[in-house]
Structure 1
Amino acid sequence: MKNQITSALSDFFFEYETPRQVLVRNRRVGVVCRLIQLGVLVYIIGWVFIYEKGYQSTDTAVSSVFTKMKGVGYTNVSGRETVWDVADYVFPSQGDSSFVVMTNYIITEGQKMGKCPELEGKHNCISHDDCVGGSYKRTGHGQMTGVCVNTTKTCEVLAWCPVEDDHTVPSPPLLMSAENYTLFIKNSITFPLFDVTRSNLVEEVNKDYLSKCLYHPEDAPLCPIFKLGDIVKLSGFSFENLAQEGGAIGIVIDWTCNLDFHVKHCKPEYNFHGLYGNPTDADASASMGYNFRYAKHYMEDKVPKRTLLKVFGIRFDIIVKSLARKFDIIPTLTAIGSGVGIFGVATVVCDLVLLYLLPKREFYKNMKFKYTDTHIQQDSESYDLDSSTYYTLEANSRQAQDKSNDPDAEAGSTEAEK
């Protein structure tokens, strides 16, 4: 028993087993095998390593964005001159990454709480029965009092009076001067995995450069100061059409960095996209543009009043897109290991061709596989032969039989060429 255990342990630690290989000289199978291996090699080198950068680890950035608008607008409506500055036309005014610049508006001044007729088309009526007191209409301006006003043929409401009339949007836009406003963007990012921090105010962008530059995709691609008209144009929109009833523009700051090179080469790229609200788009006609209402409250003769503005504007959303890559041995070894495993596809395909598609598939089966039956073991014991000797004799017998049955078969495993 002890000798058996010792022998088993010795065999386990000091012996090595290798799969049996059969060399097949066949042009068609050889070409198929090499083509498959070539395809796998191209996939590993071209796609995994070069295109997908499979030898690098990746990280996305933690980002912050600050904005600052500059510019002055002027309007003259019904002889009333008004100058608009940043505090008037930017909402909100905190410099967020998402904000609205007013380009057009409808103003209703001197509103106070009271009873007045509803706007025509909001809730028309013929008699008082058409106006249910205490009820509301979703598109109305206030609570109905139950009275039908004969002069307007609309229901009377308790609301801020006079009610806003927004049927006619000013054209051309009142604040076309917004085209010349400038936007300054300050963006900072950090790639935590690689401990890298960058700002869009890169090495080339200093104080003197900022005082003179204005973004241009070719002449000044790193300048963080943008003219609104240029942003809208680069997004594919017409500024006048967009300013008429508002819309939305996405400003994408793209940080795609290869940190295998010096960090100074990690620089932002700016892209501009129209998100929605193009008035020329027929699909958007059901809900066109972008607008909201804004009220300024004040007291006049101890009566609370307000000035209501329906603001049409361009909404700017600043989106930071980031991806950093750097060499890492773990994904490199993983990519190589998976590639080596894929090489096994060539062996599987070639085996299928050999064993099932070629005319002499039975010959290749006999060369590739050994067959053991119960009578073989009995015969080997009766002749007192060890198994290896008997298998050799059996294999030679099978080969001789195959050759006698197949006059075209050549010696060894070489397929006869015609």
Structure 2
Amino acid sequence: MMGVIAGFFSYETNKSVVVKSWSVGIINRVVQLVIITYFVCYVFLYEKAYQVSDTAIESSVITKVKGFGELNNRVMDVADYIYPPQGAGVFCILTRIIVTDNQFQGRCPEVRALSDFICPSSSMLEFKDFTIFIKNSIRFPLFDVTRGNFPSTLNITNCTFDKDLDPSCPIFRVQDILRETQQNASVLAKKGGEIGINIEWQCNLDLNIDRCVPKYSFRRLDAPFENNTISKGYNFRFAKYYKTEKGTEFRTLHKAYAVRFDVMVTGKARKFSLIPTVINVVAALTSIGMGTVVCDVILLNFLRGAEQYKAKKFEEV
């Protein structure tokens, strides 16, 4: 009992022992070098641990499509082939329409074959020559920074996006997007599909704000179903209603195949902050002490003369 009480009221203090051993000294320095390299190269340079980040990006997207095509012996412009017409971040370019005319509601003892009412349909391959104008405004609320996807000095009347020659132009040719996503225009026009346009903002606000510019990338969103025979491509139906002279209502049903474009905006802004810098510097300095722990384990358990080292390191007074 007295031994427990005496142990409870004892006091331990660190004792420094200098061990002149090349092997232990080399291990100690190597461990310290690895820890320092990790914090400098990965934590500070790669992860930017000295900065605070904001990923809650606020975004607004406006789109506008231009171009003319021919579908079912009709010349089509934007008012005919864009759905919905408001020009939001998600829109469709109609490339093929199957029209079923003169549908009446009623009961008939016998009817004509349905194929008699269905108009033959071709694909509008001219859609690959259309251009898409994208206007994107973003804001990082943590830093109250707003940006647009093209500078006000840019002449957009005669530019076309090119990731190497003109990466800041907000006007995209559909054919270039299909080339980036490795899609066949005729197949896509016949069955439809979904294409994603990703606008990525990576902004280091410690640098010049003019370097905060977007990067564009493109991909086929419905790629897992591209070769699926059950649900392939993209299509939807809509109807136009009319009335006869006698007031009987009938409709023309349209089955539209379309290329759907989804404009997706992601982003992250970073800026220097003293608090995370101090926290990570302290963590780095504390972690350097891991070298001492590793060397103590080796010294007291694996080297020759371990008992002698223990006697020197642990001493009762």
Instruction: Give the alignment's TM-score, normalised by structure 1.
Output: 0.68
Q: Could you give the per-residue CA deviations for residues 63-122 of structure 1, whole angstroms, max 9, x where no partner exists?
A: 1111111112213x4xxx312221221111111101111111211112111235xxxxxx
Pairs aligned (count): 304
Whether 1:26 and 2:21 are equivalent positions in the alignment is yes
Task: Indicate if the aligned counterparts of 1:29 and 1:354 stay in contact, CA closer than 8 A.
Answer: yes
Q: 1:95 aligns with which of 87, 105, 111?
A: 87
Provide the C-alpha distance between the structure 2 equivalents of 1:277 and 1:91, rounded to a whole number of angstroms.
22
Equivalent in the alignment of 1:192: 141
Displacement after TM superposition at 1:264 (Å): 1.1
Q: Could you give the per-residue CA deviations for residues 328-355 of structure 1, whole angstroms, max 9, x where no partner exists?
A: 1111111111112221221111110011
Q: What is the correspondence of 1:136-151 to structure 2 with a 5 Å cutoff?
A: none
Task: Indicate if the aligned counterparts of 2:131 and 2:172 stay in contact, CA closer than 8 A.
Answer: yes
Task: Indicate if the aligned counterparts of 2:202 and 2:212 stay in contact, CA closer than 8 A.
Answer: yes
Equivalent in the alignment of 2:8: none
Equivalent in the alignment of 1:53: 48
Displacement after TM superposition at 1:219 (Å): 1.4
Displacement after TM superposition at 1:58 (Å): 0.6
Displacement after TM superposition at 1:151 (Å): 9.5
| Letter aligned with residue 195 of structure 1 | D
Whether 1:288 and 2:232 are equivalent positions in the alignment is yes
Instruction: Give identity over the alignment, percent.
Output: 40
| Letter aligned with residue 33 of structure 1 | N
Equivalent in the alignment of 1:115: 107
Equivalent in the alignment of 2:61: 65
Q: Could you give the per-residue CA deviations for residues 12-40 of structure 1, whole angstroms, max 9, x where no partner exists?
A: xxxxx973211111111111111111110
Q: 1:212 aligns with which of 151, 158, 163?
A: 158
Equivalent in the alignment of 1:298: 242
Runs of 4+ in 1 over 3 A off after TM superposition: 149-152, 161-166
Q: Could you give the per-residue CA deviations for residues 391-418 of structure 1, whole angstroms, max 9, x where no partner exists?
A: 4xxxxxxxxxxxxxxxxxxxxxxxxxxx
Displacement after TM superposition at 1:286 (Å): 2.9
Provide the C-alpha distance between the structure 2 equivalents of 1:327 and 1:239, rounded to a whole number of angstroms.
47
Task: Indicate if the aligned counterparts of 1:48 and 1:54 stay in contact, CA closer than 8 A.
Answer: yes
Show structure 2 runs of 5+ residues with no match.
1-11
Q: 1:349 aligns with which of 294, 297, 301?
A: 294
Equivalent in the alignment of 2:9: none
Task: Indicate if the aligned counterparts of 1:241 and 1:278 stay in contact, CA closer than 8 A.
Answer: no
Provide the C-alpha distance between the structure 2 equivalents of 1:203 and 1:151, rounded to a whole number of angstroms.
61
Q: Secondary structure at the match of 2:106?
A: strand
Q: What is the correspondence of 1:11-410 to structure 2 with a 5 Å cutoff?
A: 19-60=14-55, 61-75=57-71, 77=72, 81-115=73-107, 174-205=123-154, 209-276=155-222, 281-282=226-227, 284-301=228-245, 302-371=247-316, 391=317
Provide the C-alpha distance between the structure 2 equivalents of 1:92 and 1:204, rounded to a whole number of angstroms.
31
Task: Indicate if the aligned counterparts of 2:133 and 2:170 stay in contact, CA closer than 8 A.
Answer: yes
* Aligned Cα root-mean-square deviation (Å): 2.4
Provide the C-alpha distance between the structure 2 equivalents of 1:163 and 1:358, rounded to a whole number of angstroms.
94
Provide the C-alpha distance between the structure 2 equivalents of 1:50 and 1:204, rounded to a whole number of angstroms.
33
Task: Indicate if the aligned counterparts of 1:277 and 1:290 stay in contact, CA closer than 8 A.
Answer: no
Show structure 1 runs of 5+ residues with no match.
1-16, 117-146, 153-160, 372-390, 392-418
